[in-house]
Amino acid sequence: MKIVIIGNGMVGYKFCEKLLTKADQNEFEIIIFGEEIHPAYDRIHLSEFFSGKTAEDLSMAPKDWYQSNGITLHLGDPVSNIDREKKIVYSYKGITETYDYLILATGSSAFVPPIPGSDKKGVFIYRTIEDLEMMTSFAKNAKKGAIIGGGLLGLEAAKAMIDLGITDTHVIEFSPRLMPRQIDSAGSEILKSKLETLGLKILTNTNTSAILGNNAITGMLFADNSSIEVDMLVISAGIKPRDEIAKKSGLEVGPRGGIVVNDYMQTTDPNIFAIGECALHKGMIYGLVAPGYEMADVVVNVLIANDKTFSGYDMSTKLKLIGVDVASFGDPFASNSDCHTIVFEDKSKGIYKRINVSKDGKHLLGGVLVGEAASYNMLLQTCKNKMVLPPNPEDIILGSRGDGKQGSADSVSALPDDAVICSCESVTKSQICNAVSEGGCESVNAIKKWTKAGTGCGGCIPMVKDLMLHTMKTNGKYVKNVLCEHFNYSRQELYDLIKLKSLKSYDEVLDALGEGDGCELCKPPIVSILASLWNEMILTKGNDTAQDSNDRYLANIQKGGTYSVVPRIPGGEITPEKLIVIGQVAQKYNLYTKITGGQRIDMFGAHVSDLPEIWKELIDAGFESGHAYGKSLRTVKSCVGSTWCRFGLHDSVSFAIRIEERYKGLRSPHKLKGGVSGCIRECAEAKSKDFGIIATEKGWNLFICGNGGSKPQHALLLASDIDSETCIKYLDRYLMFYIKTADPLTRTATWLNKMDGGIDYVRNVVVNDSLGIAHELESEMQLLIDNYKCEWKEVVDSPDLRKRFSHFVNAPEEKDPTIRFEPLRDQKKATEWK
């Protein structure tokens, strides 16, 4: 069977690929005629051409792919005539080919509205690599840009203008809102204000009446007689199906263009099919790639005598336009008479979410997301699979308020097996799970290769990953939590190995246990392990550069690149003399001061080169590092306790100070906070801390693994009515056990939640010594306590270490000149970043 394809775009290519996988290669001969000189390339990611990608990078497959699959590819040679009687095509360059079946995949061209002057120099369309090349060379001399069209393609073109360096660009849209096919007016307003912060000027409701200039464009005139200056214009106002060859051959085309096809994608000639943007199905042109691929799949199935029809296509889409997430799914515009609409809008953050819920509140009909679209995949699946909504449907957009978390792996398990996860390649949940269970795929890349899921727009990749992890877990596979590509060990394994081999620096660890150069994922946890094991000065032995910036400069980096300084104030108790010193230092170095949540004082806005001098003054006054920059003990908060309080049972301040002094400088997988309250009223909020101690009539109750933060969790009771010595003994064991066994960046609360047996198991280890390691834990802790030194004192006393605290290596006395502050309530703040 001989198949001729006219058009070598994404859909034409996909047709070949699908035919090759589904049919017996020997039964087909494929001949392609393409108008462009490049083999099919990824038009969706065309704008990446400006960030340095080449035509080869964007190509769907290299030229030799066609050859090795027995496909004849004629590029730069469009078909000029079709003889339907004899079933022969004639190409522009004079090639003739007979066919059994002819596939029209001619795509579309840019729709250019009839505006006088659109043939002037400096006016471009945005469609092919050639268009982009012409734009690139012209843009060098252009300053003021404009785009006609505020839809999806128009905003892509606006991104291209920014990439070309023409930041002074107007986007002109005829309709009252941006992206009129995808989002509603409120969503458009948010998108507009986001784009305006990037410097784009947006004109909606604006009709261009003429393009001004003699030979080249100089400006644009609008219907309201206003005008703007422009020296480069891109028209991206929509698409026009390429149906010329079909029309010429007598096939039926729609009144406004498009080759008419039936549900089998057959044109009015049963031997000729049309797919992609040139096809008109039930009055619809589909300008997205996913339905085009689906059409290609339909034709492949028809040719191999499978029964498959095209029954319209969901136009849901998610994209990142100039850095702003925009998504629309299902019926985004369903009116109030058919549904309840729930809207969430945060103008300051530029987030807009709308969902349309059926009248009975059970199903999701559609919606719009602007500014934050992490929940898109889950919402789309909920909508498509008619999954029943939770009792309060708003939870599905408000549940993740602000933290941008995707539905967890638990939520993917609720999806039906035939849920389409990747709509570009129509890959279902069960296909992905099969790739993991039967295909042995254990990485997203392996799944991509096996199923093609995620190879189109890539929007489904987070969900593919969740499904993969979920499937591996259900299969009882041990999902090993390795740090990164440089170490094939979990943190706990590394901790044991480093201890066993007595390794003291990151480089030694990498030499002995890893490979390559390391990276920002493995360096901090390993130096944290080293500190937790040996408690040596963290900036020596080359370990300084293996730390996060905060640890490396022993201060917290803040907006603008300055640092904040937090001296330790154990238990929150401080003398008037020390308060005065903090005030004097802050005044001298012009620092913004604020009381922290941990009962101490933070000084912001310090230049890196001032840090050693600031600390010298603090240390001279008796202060020590507060380790606010480290994954280490922060504060032990206290209420005033029995020394003053009429309700207090014990002296909570003294005990808090004792504990803070004991564990100060202790490096751990994540930060540690403690609290001591003098009575049941719990004024120190100790139950929200990693360890909380609350006075009772008979002694102390010790609670562990509490957390404030994003997932608040009350600490659980470990032991009750214990004396101070026992309390410290249990704390030693508990903290050391946590340090030895937790994953990197895991707070004690999460550590406990993941622990088999939970608090009962930890109590067995810590209180009942079920593992027989209690003594070991205590002596390991004692070693760390004995080795404590104030690391800021060591820096202040060491000229070598001090040398690292400068901004310019070749001008150490100069400060970063780009640092800017703004006044704020008699103090200052960092200038807002972009």
Partner 1 sequence: MNCNITESITWFHACKINDVPENGGVCVKYKESQIALFYFKRRDEWFATQNLCPHRRQMALSRGMIGSLNGEPKVACPFHKKTFSLVDGRCMNEEDDCSIKTYLVKVENDDVYIGFAGADNDEEEIFA
For residues 187 and 347, give the distance between their C-alpha atoms in angstroms, rounded to a whole number. Answer: 10
Token pair, residue 29, equals 């001969």
Between 500 and 809, CB nearer to partner 1: 809
Binds partner 1 by CB under 8 A, chosen from 552, 627, 687, 740: 552
Nearer to partner 1 by Cβ, of 358 and 609: the residue is: 609
Amino acid making up residue 170: H
Ramachandran region, residue 454 (left: φ > 0; alpha: ψ -120 to 50; beta: rest): left
Residue 622: burial class (beta carbons within 10 Å; 0-12, 13-18, 19+): exposed
Between residues 336 and 818, which has the closer beta carbon with respect to partner 1? 818
For the four alpha carbons of 86, 87, 89 and 94, in that order, the dihedral sign comes to: negative
Does the protein bind partner 1 through residue 531 (CB under 8 A)?
no
Per CB under 8 A, the list member of 1, 134, 388, 519 interacting with partner 1 is 519
Q: Which is nearer to partner 1, 18 or 523 (CB)?
A: 523
Provide, rounded to whole angstroms, the least separation between the CB of residue 13 and partner 1. 24
Closest to partner 1 by CB, 563 or 700? 563
Nearer to partner 1, 381 or 547 (CB): 547
Please tell me the distance from the alpha carbon of residue 482 to that of residue 494, in angstroms, as a whole number. Answer: 10
If one asks whether residue 48 binds partner 1 (CB under 8 A), the answer comes out as yes
Cα separation, 412 vs 432, in Å, equals 12
Stretch that binds partner 1, among 57-65, 589-597, 620-628, 807-815 (CB under 8 A): 807-815
Residues in Cβ contact with 550 at an 8 Å cutoff, skipping those fewer than 6 apart: 556, 557, 629, 630
Closest CA to 239 of 493, 539, 9: 9
Among the listed residues 64, 85, 410, 520, the single contact to partner 1 using CB under 8 A: 520
Residues in the chain: 834
Contact of 145 with 232, CB cutoff 8 Å? yes
* CA angle (578, 580, 582) in 5-degree steps: 75
What single letter denotes the amino acid at residue 757? G
Judged by CB under 8 A, which stretch of 263-271, 493-501, 549-557, 575-583 contacts partner 1? Answer: 549-557
Compute the C-alpha angle 649/653/658, nearest 5°: 115
Binding partner 1 (rule: CB under 8 A), the pick from 199, 542, 597, 758 is 542
Q: Which of 12, 151, 241, 518 binds partner 1 (CB under 8 A)?
A: 518
Question: Which residues, other chains included, contact 13 with Cβ-Cβ below 8 Å and sequence gap of 6+?
Answer: 39, 40, 60, 61
Task: By CB under 8 A, tell whether 549 contacts partner 1.
Answer: yes
Least separation in angstroms between residue 241's CB and partner 1 is: 30
Tokens of 407: 């539905």
Q: Write down the least CB distance from residue 51 to partner 1, Å.
A: 5
Residue 90, amino acid: Y
Is residue 293 within 8 Å of residue 276, measured between CB atoms?
A: no
Query: Segment 477-496, which members bind partner 1 (CB under 8 A)?
Result: 485-486
d(CA 19, CA 135): 36
Q: Does residue number 810 form part of the binding site for partner 1 (CB under 8 A)?
A: yes
Say how many Å lie between the first and final Cα of the chain, rounded: 59
Q: Are 495 and 502 in contact (CB under 8 A)?
A: no
- What ranges in 23-89 are assigned the alpha helix state H? 55-58, 63-68
Considering beta carbons, is residue 133 or 515 the nearer one to partner 1? 515
Task: Please identify, using beta-carbon distances, which residue of 574 and 819 lies nearer to partner 1.
Answer: 819
Q: Which residue has the tokens 């989002």?
A: 183
Round to whole Å and give the CA distance between 518 and 542: 13
**For partner 1, which is the closer residue by CB, 797 or 816?**
816
Binding to partner 1 (CB under 8 A) within 287-326 occurs at 320
Residue 379 backbone phi and psi in degrees, to 5: -65, -45
Nearer to partner 1, 552 or 747 (CB): 552
Site map 680..699 versus partner 1, x via CB under 8 A: --------------------
**Residue of 500, 502, 768, 833 interacting with partner 1 (CB under 8 A):** 833
Least distance to partner 1, CB of residue 163, Å: 8
Check if the beta carbon of residue 766 is closer than 8 Å to that of residue 733: yes
User: Residue 116 corresponds to which tokens in the numbers above?
Assistant: 């006088």
Among 167, 185, 443, 545, interactor with partner 1 by CB under 8 A:
545
CB of 507 to partner 1, least distance (A): 7
Q: Which is nearer to partner 1, 177 or 523 (CB)?
A: 523
Least distance from partner 1 to the Cβ atom of residue 458, Å:
8
Paired strand residues for 638: 676
Q: Is 822 in the site for partner 1 (CB under 8 A)?
A: no
If one counts every other C-beta atom within 10 angstroms of the C-beta of residue 215, the result is 8
User: Binding residue for partner 1 (CB under 8 A) from 138, 560, 645, 790?
Assistant: 560
Does residue 807 touch partner 1 according to CB under 8 A?
yes
- Contact call for residue 814 and partner 1 (CB under 8 A): yes
Nearer to partner 1, 507 or 661 (CB): 507
Size of the site for partner 1 (CB under 8 A): 44
Does position 768 interact with partner 1 (CB under 8 A)? The reply is: no
User: Is residue 671 within 8 Å of residue 686, measured between CB atoms?
Assistant: no
Using CB under 8 A as the binding rule, whether residue 834 contacts partner 1 is answered as yes
Is residue 445 involved in binding partner 1 (CB under 8 A)? no
Say whether residue 772 binds partner 1 (CB under 8 A): no
CA 171 to CA 178: how far, in whole Å? 9
In whole angstroms, the minimum distance from the beta carbon of 695 to partner 1 comes to: 42
Smallest distance from partner 1 to CB 139, Å: 17
Q: Which is nearer to partner 1, 825 or 834 (CB)?
A: 834
Shortest spacing between CB 420 and partner 1, in angstroms: 22
- 577: which strand partners? none
Q: Which stretch binds partner 1 (CB under 8 A): 518-526, 628-636, 655-663, 690-698?
A: 518-526
Residue 377 CA, distance from chain mean position: 13
Nearer to partner 1, 248 or 559 (CB): 559
State how far the Cα of 750 lies from the Cα of 743, in Å rounded to an integer.
10
Of the two residues 113 and 323, which places its CB atom closer to partner 1 in the complex?
323
CB 463 within 8 A of CB 377: yes
Specify the stretch interacting with partner 1 by CB under 8 A; choose among 185-193, 309-317, 659-667, 802-810. Answer: 802-810
10 Å CB burial of residue 237 (0-12, 13-18, 19+) is buried
Q: Which region, judged by CB under 8 A, interacts with partner 1, from 342-350, 384-392, 426-434, 811-819?
A: 811-819
Give the position of tokens 């792919």.
65
Two structure tokens written together for 791: 């690391």
Binding mask 51-90 for partner 1 (x = CB under 8 A): xx--------------------------------------
Q: How far apart are CA 739 and CA 754, in angstroms?
A: 15
140 binds partner 1 (CB under 8 A): no
The dihedrals phi and psi of 494, each to the nearest 5 degrees, come to -65, -40
Residues 238-297 that bind partner 1 (CB under 8 A): none
Among 252, 548, 613, 685, binds partner 1 (CB under 8 A): 548
Report if residue 820 touches partner 1, rule: CB under 8 A: no
Q: Interface with partner 1 by CB under 8 A: which residues?
A: 48, 51-52, 320, 458, 461, 485-486, 507, 510, 516-520, 522-524, 542, 544-550, 552-553, 557, 559-561, 804, 807-811, 814, 816, 818-819, 833-834
